[in-house]
Amino acid sequence: MERTLDLSTEAGLETYRHSASHVMAQAVKRLFPAARLAIGPAIHDGFYYDFDLEERLAPEHLDRIEEEMRRIVGEDLAFEREEMPRRRALDLFRSMGERYKVELLEGIADDTVSVYRDGEFVDLCRGPHVGRTGEIRAFKLLHVAGAYWRGDENNPMLQRIYGTAWGTEAELAAHLARLDEARQRDHRRLGRELGIFDVYEEAGAGLVYWHPKGAILRRTIRTYWEEMHLARGYDLIAIPHIARAGLWHKSGHFEFYREHMYTLRAEDEEYVLKPMNCPGHILIYKSAVRSWRDLPIRYAEMGTVYRFERSGVLHGMLRVRGFTQDDAHIFCTPEQLPGEIAGVLDLVLEVLGTFGFREYEVDLSVRDPARPADYAGSPAAWETAERALLEALEAKGLPFRRIEGEAVFYGPKIDIKLLDALGRKWQCSTIQFDFNLPGRFGASYVGSDNRRHEVVMVHRALFGSLERFVGALIEHYKGAFPAWLAPVQAVVIPVSEKHLSYAEGVHAALREHGIRAECDRRNEKMGLKIREAQVRKVPYMLVVGGREEEAGTVAVRSRARGDLGARSLAEFIEALGAEIASKAL
């Protein structure tokens, strides 16, 4: 029997959940003896197991499997580890018809492997496990998804059952409540319901179509982004969506990134749909001789890029094939680097804070000194770059994890993961130093010594991907955006058709003052219109009837605060204008 687990630790929970995945596999084999087992690891907050079986699993099957799992738990079977020669294990799993286990064994170089038994069930596994099935107390099966064997679309499609397991029923209930809240915030559903975006299979998976209200949201974010950059000395640029393949050979992307790139031919020449913006920005930098007096030069662009992602990983706006990077590249001297990094961090924190994100997790990814051949640039240059990133983080008082060996080959980087209203992490902002591209393109400046020097280049993005950031915003706010971001900031609701003329005048006045407003002209009951405006998550509803028309007022109802009473139209316009201008959350 294995030792009692401490479920307050990550390792303890992983062992506990991995044991639950074995119990689930055992239950599936009891109910579907012809099922073939693939893999069943623990994952964040749960576990899964992949099965090859002819019957398509439905929600009612999960109920039956869960019921059988409870029987197995009630039988309190011991998990018994057995080590055996690999050849013997191959014979065992061949005799059981477990072709996926055989394939796994054929890829193992060790002469000895371990299997685990509990009751009649046996599985290839390194372990560890809990001592007995009876120790697994609180679990729930969640859903079924398709998964290619070993993640390869050329392999068979398996059925993956996801589940979760916790130490107590109270912890399980709390987790299920969090999952339910996350489902209510799902940006895919809300994005469609609120008219923000959609993805159409007939047009191509992973390609986002912004609907009218989404386009307004996108424009609002972009306008703010541009104003922030212009105020901080950035130049806005724009580059084409395609470029000759030779540019990407020169940059090294063809060598390192080819499987993620789209290519096309025009007049017997190969072109590439750009997977990133940096080579184009370097071409603009190189269009003139640059002096040390010209630096720093900061180029910024909302540039759409295209990257091939397998269909199995695409997910709404969060994982797509075409997305817009809020990209910027800073060209500077080594002496200017610390100040530029500090300025980027200031901008990141200000921008994310404006959108309501105040909590972050920060990673500083540096090289592994034991593997110098894996990185471009000299050790001295790496030390300078890493020190600049480190000192900038320390100066801002930002807690961070230093992760050795996680730097990209062309330089160290800072990654900022923001935390949303549910405490979930979203990778958005990144600041990356580059030793690679300036040398490949011969990007230089003339120093005070009248000699050419290779320019220092920093890649940075605040949102990362505009699509992913908007998806995070939708889920963070549950679609109820603050007024400055809301696609519709106010809706005018006439009590009846005879008040429509006054309502139209109110609507026109709002729009004249730059407020994004609509007028609900339908011949429906006022209560229905208010409820529908609430569902559409409009910040303000202005109800107008005979009393309001006579007094020149509007009855204001707030999405968040309810009935605010009657106000003059001018007073409401001034108050909402101030709220929008201050970007109040």
Query: Hunting for tokens 């593997």 — which residue is that?
Result: 371
Cβ pair 21, 1 in contact under 8 A: no
* 459 catalytic per annotation: yes
The answer to the question of residue 210 being in a domain is no
Stretch 123-134: mean pLDDT, rounded? 94
Stretch 339-362: mean pLDDT, rounded? 94
Q: Per-residue pLDDT tens for 477-513?
A: 999 999 999 999 999 999 999 999 999 999 999 999 9
Cβ pair 232, 343 in contact under 8 A: yes
Q: Rounded to the nearest 5 degrees, what angle is found at the Cα of 276, between the Cα atoms of 270 and 279?
A: 75
* 499 catalytic per annotation: no
Nearest CA among 443, 469, 539, 549 for reference residue 503:
549
As a residue count, the chain comes to 585
pLDDT over threshold 80, residue 77: yes
> What is the secondary structure of 478-517 as a DSSP string?
TT---TTT-SS-EEEEESSGGGHHHHHHHHHHHHHTT--E
Looking at the fold, whether 430 and 520 belong to one and the same domain comes out as: no
Q: Per-residue pLDDT tens for 244-255?
A: 999 999 998 888
Looking at the fold, whether 326 and 452 belong to one and the same domain comes out as: yes
* 99 catalytic per annotation: no
Model pLDDT, residue 4: 64
Stretch 185-210: mean pLDDT, rounded? 96
The verdict on pTM exceeding 0.75 is yes
Looking at the fold, whether 306 and 448 belong to one and the same domain comes out as: yes
Model pLDDT, residue 273: 96
Confidence class for position 131, pLDDT limits 50, 70, 90: very high
Which of 169, 184, 199 is the last residue in one of the domains?
184
pLDDT over threshold 90, residue 576: yes
Looking at the fold, whether 395 and 358 belong to one and the same domain comes out as: yes
**Residues whose CB falls within 8 Å of the CB of residue 103, separated by 6 or more in sequence, listed in order:** none
* 325 catalytic per annotation: yes
* 307 catalytic per annotation: yes
Of 101, 213, 459, 529, the catalytic one is 459
pLDDT over threshold 70, residue 104: yes
| Mean residue pLDDT across the chain | 94
pLDDT over threshold 90, residue 311: no
Of 329, 367, 460, 507, the catalytic one is 329
The answer to the question of residue 223 being in a domain is no
Stretch 458-476: mean pLDDT, rounded? 96
CATH number at residue 505: 3.40.50.800
Confidence class for position 2, pLDDT limits 50, 70, 90: very low
pLDDT over threshold 60, residue 3: no
Which of 445, 477, 509 is the last residue in one of the domains?
477
Looking at the fold, whether 425 and 539 belong to one and the same domain comes out as: no
Model pLDDT, residue 119: 95
Cβ pair 507, 494 in contact under 8 A: no
Question: Which structure tokens are listed for 368?
Answer: 């592994």
Looking at the fold, whether 167 and 302 belong to one and the same domain comes out as: no
* 278 catalytic per annotation: yes
* 229 catalytic per annotation: no
The range of the structural domain enclosing residue 139 comes to 10-184
What is residue 420's DSSP assignment?
-
CATH number at residue 391: 3.30.930.10
Q: Per-residue pLDDT tens for 297-307?
A: 999 999 999 99
Largest Cα separation within the chain, whole Å, is: 92
